[in-house]
Chains A and B, each alone.
Chain A
C-alpha cells in the first residue's frame, strides 16, 4: 500500500459566531512530512478534527489522491487510511501491545485465534523499521515505546496517512528525535505521509519537508522548510503583536537558602510512592528549574508544597523554620504559587474577578472587619488597582473569572500571587496553553520576582522555558532529583540524558 496524498480546500469551521478556521487549503503530497505550526487556539486542532470527521466543516472539502471524499466520522477516516496519534495515549494500559492492536481492528472477530494473530503480528513487525515488545502490558512500557506502539497500531490498521498531534510532548528529547527520525525515514521510503501538529520550531526544521502556519484560524504562510527561517515562522505564528522582551536577569550573588526540602515522600491515589526521598534547596534570588518527563512526580511535588496532597514523610523548611502548607504559614513565610492551568487549579471559576483576586487577602484588613465581616468596597478597589497594574482585560471586576481568556486568567492569578512581598514562589508550567505574548509577559514577571529576591521553584515540562529562566537546573526522574547543575555548566543534551534516566 502506497502513501496517499491528502489536501484540504477552503476548510472553514464556524462555532456559532466564532470562526475557528477560515478558508484553509493545504496539500500534503504522498510521502511527505508536513508540519502544521501555530499557537494554541490558532485552529490546528480544528483543522485535523475536520479532516478526521470529528467536526463537520462549515465549508470546504477534503481530497484524497485528488478525489473529493466525505468524512462524516473517524471510522470513515480510518476506512480511507487516515489515522491519528493523539497527544495522550489511547492504548489500554492493562492489555499487552498485541491485544491492543488486535482489538483496534475494525474486523476484530468475536473469538480471537491468538496463535494465528501473534504469527501475523510477528510477520508484520518484521516489515517495520522499529520494534516494540508486544507481549508486555502497555502500562509497563516507557513513554517512547508507547508512542511507537501507537504509530505501529495505525500502520497495522493499514493507515498510511498519519496525523500526529504534538507527539513529542510526553517524550524525552532523545526519544522524540528517534521517533521523528523513524517517521521521516518512512516518508522518504514512500510508505506513509505525515501531518504533524507542533509548536516546536526545532522539530519543524529538523524533520519536516514543508510547513503550514496558522494564526487565529487563518493560513498565514506555507512553504518548504528550507525556504523559511525560524524568525519568519515565528512572525507568521504570532503576527505583529508585540512580544515583551525577556526581562533582564540581574546578576546576583548566591543568597542564603530559603526553601529546603529534605527526604520528602508522597504517594499517589493508588498508594504508589511518586515523590521518593526528594531533597532540594532554593536560595534567595534564584530560579531553580526542575525539568523532567511528565509523570515523574513533578505534579505531586507541587501539590505537596501547595497543601493539596499530604506529605507522607520528610521535612520542609523555610529560612530554617518548619513549614506546613496552611493559610497561616503561607502568609507568615510569604509563600505564593502559580500553578499550571490556573482556571482549574487556582481560581473558583464562577466567582467574580474581584473575589478571585482577593483569595489571599479576603480575611485580613482592609477587606475584612474583625476578621469576619467582608467589605466589598476595599475588595473591589484592590481588584481595580491590580487589574490595571497587571493589564488584565476584563469587562468588570464583577464578571465571573471563567469568562476571561486564558492569558487574562493567568495574569489575574499572577496579580494576586505576585503583588505582595514574595519570599518563596512555586511555579508549575506557568505558560501551558498561553499565546506567545502572554507567555513572554508571565515569564518576565517571574524573573522580576526573582530579581526582587524571591526564591523561585520552577517546575516545567518545557525545557526551553527552564533553560530560559533558571539559574540552576535540576532533573526529576522517578520521584527524585537525579541531576543538578548551574545553568552555565550544562546543556540541552546533558539535561535530556538525565531526563531519560541516564545519570
Chain B
C-alpha cells in the first residue's frame, strides 16, 4: 500500500477542512467591514479593539476564557449529534434547564452546607449530576421524537428551548423565587462559600477545564470505541447501519442524551461558578453561539476548543467596542450572524476546489 499517497491524501483533506473555514472567517470580516464603513466607522479600529478586548491583555484573556467555557460545552451539544446525522440546535434550552435543575436541587442543601453539616463537594456533585441529567433528558427527548415519531429534531430541539426558558421563568418568578431577589427574580443563592472556586492563579472557572476534558473524552469515544464506530456508521449511512443490524434508534437517543448532558453541564457551571443562582442571566445565548462554534469546527470535538476561544474573545470585546466606538452591543451579534451565513455558504465549496482534491483512483 502506498503510505505516501495516503499521507498526501490526508494532508489535502486536512487542508480543505482548515482553509475553507478560515477563508469564511476572512470573507465575513470583509463583509462586516463594508457594513462598518456604511456606518462611517473604521473597520481597522474595530478589529484592533476586538483584538485588545479579546486577547490583548491578561485580563481580556481571562474574560475570553470565562466566556469560552460554556461555548465548548454547548458546541459539543451540536457536534456529537452531528456525527450521527442530526442537527440539534437546542443547546440553549438544555443549558437553561440544566442550570435551573442545579439551582433547584441545591435549595434544600444550602442551609446544611452553610452550617457545615454537609460537604460542599457533595452538593456541587449532586448539582452537576442534576444539570447533566436534565439536559440529557431534554435533548434526548428530541432524539426520541425523531426516532419514534419522525419529528424533525432541529425544529423540536429549538421549540423545546422556548419551553425550557418558560419553565425557568415559571419557577424563578413563582414557587422557587428567593424573596430577597427584588429586581431580578432568582432562586436562592447557593452562598459565596459554596461556589465553585476558580482555577488557582486565575479568574477562570473550572468549566473550561471540564469542557476541554469532555471534548477529548468525546473525541476518543467517537474515534476509538465500538460505540463511536456504530455512531459514525449510522451518521454516514443509516440504511447501511440498519442492514448491519445496528440499533439505530438507540444510538440516536444515546447521542442526543450525551449532547444534552454536555449542554446541561454548561448550565451547572454558569450557576455554580458564575451567578450563584438561576435567573434570566442563564438565557445569554451561549447555546446559540455554540451552534456556530460547532459548525466552524466542522463538528470535531478537538477543533471546538480553539474556535470556542475565538468566539469567547469576540463576545468579550463587545463591551470595549461599545464604549470606544459608540456601536450598539448587538454589533457583535451581527458579526456572529455574518460569520454563520458565510460559513453555511462555504459548505458548498467542499470537493470543488481542484487543488485541494486527492486524486481519484481506479478505473471509472
> Taking beta carbons and an 8 Å cutoff, which residues of A are in contact with B?
16, 18, 41, 306-308, 325-331, 337, 339, 344-351, 355, 358-360, 362-363, 368, 371-374, 384, 393-399, 403-405, 407-408
Contacts and interface: CB of A to CB of B under 8 A. Distances in A.
B243 A408 contact: no
A407 B364 CA distance: 9
Nearest to A387: B1
A300 to B, nearest CB: 13
A487 to B, nearest CB: 28
A339 B232 CA distance: 20
B93 to A, nearest CB: 30
Contacts of A373: 224-226
Contact of B1 (A351, A368, A396): A396
A351 B231 CA distance: 12
Interface string B224-253: 111111101101110111111111000000
Contacts of B247: 326-327
Contacts of B364: 18, 41, 405
10 contacts: A327-B246, A330-B244, A351-B232, A351-B233, A362-B229, A374-B224, A374-B229, A393-B361, A396-B3, A407-B362
A41 to B, nearest CB: 6
A359 B241 CA distance: 9
Identify the interface centre among A307, A371, A408: most chain B CB within 10 Å of its CB: A307
Contacts of B241: 348
B363 interface: yes
B184 interface: no
Contacts of B226: 362-363, 368, 371-374
Given A348-B232, A403-B360, A405-B363, A337 B243 contact: yes
A392 to B, nearest CB: 9
Interface residues of B, number: 35
B361 A395 contact: yes
Given A330-B245, A359-B233, A374 B225 contact: yes
Given A325-B245, A403-B358, 10 more contacts: A330-B245, A345-B240, A348-B237, A351-B232, A374-B224, A374-B229, A398-B10, A404-B361, A405-B362, A408-B362
Contacts of B2: 395-396
Interface of B: 1-3, 5-6, 9-10, 224-230, 232-233, 235-237, 239-247, 354, 358, 360-364
B230 to A, nearest CB: 7
Contacts of B3: 396
A328 B228 CA distance: 19
A359 B354 contact: no
Contacts of A331: 245
A399 B232 contact: no
Nearest to B354: A16
A337 B240 CA distance: 11
Contacts of A327: 244-247
A403 B12 CA distance: 14
Closest 3 CB pairs between A and B?
A348-B236, A327-B245, A396-B6
B362 A404 contact: yes
Contact of B243 (A308, A349, A368, A374): A308
Given A349-B236, A351-B233, A394 B243 contact: no
Nearest to A309: B242
A349 B237 contact: yes
A400 B126 CA distance: 44
Contacts of B232: 348, 351, 355
Given A368-B226, A372-B225, A396-B2, A346 B361 contact: no
B246 A345 contact: no
B237 A394 contact: no
Contact of A399 (B9, B227, B245): B9
A301 to B, nearest CB: 14
B362 to A, nearest CB: 4
Nearest to A380: B1
Given A327-B245, A384-B1, A344 B361 contact: no
A351 B235 CA distance: 10
B245 A328 contact: yes
Contacts of B239: 308, 344-345
B361 A329 contact: no
A372 to B, nearest CB: 6
A226 B2 CA distance: 49
B61 to A, nearest CB: 37
Contacts of A16: 354
A429 B123 CA distance: 61
Contacts of A346: 240, 243
A407 B224 CA distance: 30
A331 B364 CA distance: 34
Nearest to A374: B224
A363 B228 CA distance: 11
B232 to A, nearest CB: 6
Contacts of B246: 327
Identify the interface centre among A16, A337, A355, A395: most chain B CB within 10 Å of its CB: A395
Nearest to A367: B226
Contacts of A41: 364
Identify the interface centre among A308, A393, A396: most chain B CB within 10 Å of its CB: A396
A210 to B, nearest CB: 28
Identify the interface centre among B245, B354, B358, B364: most chain A CB within 10 Å of its CB: B245
Contact of B236 (A18, A307, A345, A350): A350
Contact of A347 (B1, B9, B227, B240): B240
A339 B242 CA distance: 12
A398 B9 contact: yes
A408 B233 CA distance: 20
Contacts of A394: 361-362
A348 B244 CA distance: 11
A494 to B, nearest CB: 33
Nearest to A41: B364
A394 B9 CA distance: 13
A384 B364 CA distance: 22
